[in-house]
Amino acid sequence: MALPVADKLRLGLPDIGALLAPAPGRAAATTRVTVASVLTVLVTAMYGTPEAAISAYIVFFINRADRTTSIVMSIAAFVLISLIIGLVMLLADFTVNDPLLRLTCMAVLSAALLFLTSASKLRPIGAIVAMIVGFGLDELGLVPGGEVATRGLLYAWLMVSIPIGVNVVVNLVMGPAPRRLAGDRLAHCLRTAAACLRQRDIDASTLVPLLREGVQPVAMLLKLAKIEGMSRADDLAALQHAAASTMAILIATDTALRQPGAKLPATFAEPIADTLDQMAVMVAAGGYPVEISLALPAMDQLPPVQQAVAAELRDAIVGFADASVQNAQSKQTPAKAAQEEKSGFLSADAFTNREHVHYALKTTGAAMFCYVLYQQLNWSGIHTCFLTCYLVSLSTAAETVEKLTLRLTGCMIGAAIGTAALVYIVPSLDSIGGLLMLVFAGTWISAWVAQGSPRISYAGFQIAFAFYLCVIQGSGPGYDLTIARDRTIGIVIGNLVTFLVFTRIWPVSIAARIEASLDGLVRQWRQLLGTPDRQAQRQHAAAALALQGQITQDLILARYEPASVGPSADWVESRRRHLAMLDAVASPLFLLAERFPADPEIDRRLQAVRMDDKAAATGSAPLQPQTSSRDALLALVDRHLAGPPQGEPPGAATGSPLHA
């Protein structure tokens, strides 16, 4: 089967076209970001605040899929930046006339904020806050006295406060409710499962994105809906159960598509698919189906594997939103307990994991180098190199190398669009209205890319950054090509400095993260097998499959690391085979855990999934002839543990998205 586009190591033009194709919710999110950015430009033009381009760009970082998260993040950023600007104003008296002391304060505050960015829930906006603080202190060096310095810091506060206020208003008016987003996600999953069961122009890779992240965000969306207080508690509980049932439906459908001999005959697939389509309509309309009746032929005539798939689909559909079937144990499941342990502001390893400190020091070092560079060159036009370091820093060398191409490509595209607009469009503009229309068009293009897959979203951010810096030169249309040139050069310098620091001076390989994630993946499956409650099992399955997707992307990124930093090709291939084996046995293990809980043979098979493929192949004894669903599913697990047939690439037998 074809690889999912997001899992390919190299992307061709057709793959990029697929990543730019419309997706559920993408147009709405793009429109919301565009409107907020354009209104930010309008407000900054009305009040004449400096660095309007940065203000418009901040919208990209504080906007989220749902209105509640966007508003909460905006308010938190406002409070935080207000406190920090207040701190900077206290430091202004000591640093305004002392460049060395000012540089020291910039470095210390930057390192502290970036540490919190890496080691706390400040991650989404921490780098932006550090950038604003650095910009505020930088402005101190451009003013002759304390009063003007205070005014400059207030402008820095306005630079971030304006987009925050606009973003809150836009999300109150246009932002989708988390309850609606949860329903849309579940409806999309149900429709896709129905299409896969019918197998009408559907490839097995179609389910891969939904298995990894289709259901996982629903729990958080429902929690946000509870915070909003606009949905009844029993409705949210029913939807929580519906999300777990949807996960079971997706895994059972994946089993029917990928496992040999598991494809359901049309007499079963068609009525199940029709029911799923009807359920999707109800969920998308804001409700959920109850008392579902599903008429199927007798299952005893089906082969054992098909019996297990059909029974799982039937049970998940009939009890789709019936929260009353949960046991008392589901009130405090291991999955929920694990979430509660992570509810603190700081990460559990904040003071034990040195990578948080390394990230803060590397990013600060790159930013301070760029600051000193343009100060010594007396070339303030390239000050964007200083800002860029905060916007593009990543934790590992693999991510840095992979994203460098996206950053530079996005920068060149944004600069080309911005320069072309300055030459051919801006001279004909005579009002702020024309500039806003131009900003709207450029923002829509960049926001569409930024709202897509992580494989291309960085390019969208860089397109917007370069475009804004070229086009937004003041409170009205600007025509200075020198500004566009200098700012683009600054972006390129900032990208290259960050690349060199993160890959040559102080590199961090992604290998350790892959090893830890693989151990965590096995733990997730062990917890699933040891949990008697069905909803908890399905929550663990969703978490395991989401983690599996992250590991897949990390293994792709590992191939981007320089040989002096990253793991060897043999190491990557060994982990890829290990992950492919876990991927192959995932759906049979899930069905076994649901249909035959606490079976010791299931855990014994999972223990056989080891790094040593030969040991894994001999870890399970052959079964007797398959006379039950249990025996048939265990036989499938044993087949995958034994590896593919001679000459067949790993993963080919199951259609795994991980095969080379």
- Does residue 346 register a pLDDT over 90? no
Say which range, 6-20, 297-311, 576-590, has the weakest mean pLDDT.
6-20
Distance CA 54, CA 62 (A): 13
Residue with more model confidence, 658 or 397 = 397
Q: Long-range CB contacts (< 8 A, 24+ apart) of 93-101?
A: 93/146, 95/137, 95/140, 96/140, 96/143, 96/145, 96/146, 96/149, 99/141
pLDDT at 339: 44
Assess contact for 476 and 399: CB atoms under 8 A. no
Higher pLDDT, 379 or 10: 379
Helices (H), 425-508: 432-450, 454-471, 481-500
Give the model's pLDDT for residue 143: 58
Q: What is the pLDDT of residue 29?
A: 93
* Least confident stretch, 23-32, 165-174, 238-247, 498-507: 498-507
Q: Choose between 247 and 119: higher pLDDT.
A: 247
Phi, psi of 639 (to 5 degrees): -60, -45
Bridge partners, residue 346, by sequence = 120
Amino acid present at 67: R
Instruction: Confirm if 326 and 533 have CB atoms less than 8 A apart.
Output: yes
- The mean-pLDDT minimum among 85-89, 191-195, 571-575 falls in 85-89
Separation between Cα atoms, residue 34 and residue 440, nearest integer Å: 6
In this prediction, residue 127 carries a pLDDT of 80
> In the structure, what pLDDT confidence band is assigned to residue 597 with cuts at 50, 70 and 90?
confident
Q: What is the DSSP string of 32-100?
A: HHHHHHHHHHHHHHHHT-S-HHHHHHHHHHH--SSHHHHHHHHHHHHHHHHHHHHHHHHHHHHHTT-HH
Higher per-residue pLDDT: 608 or 180: 180
Between CA 603 and CA 622 the distance in angstroms is: 16
The reported pLDDT for the residue numbered 310 is 93
Amino acid 258: pLDDT: 85
Q: pTM (2 decimals)? A: 0.82
CA distance 166 to 182: 25
* pLDDT at position 626 over 90: no
Confidence of residue 10 (pLDDT cuts 50, 70, 90): low
- DSSP structural state of residue 4: P
Average model confidence (pLDDT) across the chain: 82
pLDDT band of 650, cuts 50, 70, 90: very low
120 φ, ψ to 5°? Answer: -150, -175
- Distance CA(481)–CA(483), nearest Å, equals 5
Residue 346's φ and ψ, nearest 5 degrees, are -90, 150
The predicted structure's pLDDT at residue 204: 61
- Judge whether residue 315 has pLDDT over 80: yes
Q: Which residues pair with 120 in a beta bridge?
A: 346
Q: How far is 655 from 640, CA to CA, in rounded Å?
A: 12
Mean pLDDT over 285-293 rounds to 87
| Cα–Cα distance for residue pair 79/81, rounded to 1 Å | 6
Report how far residue 228's alpha carbon sits from residue 222's, in angstroms, rounded to the nearest whole number.
Answer: 10
DSSP 651: T
Indicate the range of 3-17, 384-398, 535-549, 640-654 predicted with least confidence: 640-654
What pLDDT score does 279 carry?
A: 94
Q: What is the average per-residue pLDDT within 423-449?
A: 91
Q: How confident is the model at residue 185 (pLDDT cuts 50, 70, 90)?
A: very high
When pLDDT is averaged across residues 274-301 and rounded to a whole number, the result is 89
> Could you tell me which of 72, 100, 113 has the C-alpha nearest to residue 228?
72
Average pLDDT over residues 393-408: 79
Average pLDDT of span 85-101: 76
For residue 312, name the pLDDT band (cuts at 50, 70, 90).
very high
Percent of the chain with pLDDT over 70: 85
The pLDDT, as a whole number, for residue 648 is: 41
**What is the average pLDDT across 372-392?**
86
Mean pLDDT throughout 227-238?
A: 87
- Over residues 470-522, the pLDDT tens digits come to 888 776 666 677 877 888 898 889 988 988 888 888 888 888 889 889 888 88
Nearest to 409 by CA among 460, 444, 451: 460
Element (H, E) at 436: helix 432-450
Q: How many C-beta neighbours within 10 Å does residue 230 have?
A: 10
**Higher pLDDT among residues 618 and 429, named by residue:** 429
Confidence check: pLDDT of 334 > 60: no
Contact 477, 435 (CB under 8 A): yes
Nearest-5° Cα angle at 364, 358 to 370 = 140
Asked whether the beta carbons of 59 and 40 are under 8 A apart, the reply is yes
Contact 517, 378 (CB under 8 A): no
Q: What's the farthest any 2 CA atoms get from each other in the chain?
A: 88
For residue 561, CA distances in Å to 308, 356, 405, 521 come to: 43, 20, 13, 23
Give the chain's radius of gyration (CA, Å). 27
User: Quick one: pLDDT at residue 140?
Assistant: 67
What SS3 class is residue 120?
A: strand
- pLDDT in the model for residue 333: 45
Q: Which of 576, 559, 551 is nearest to 509 (CA)?
A: 559
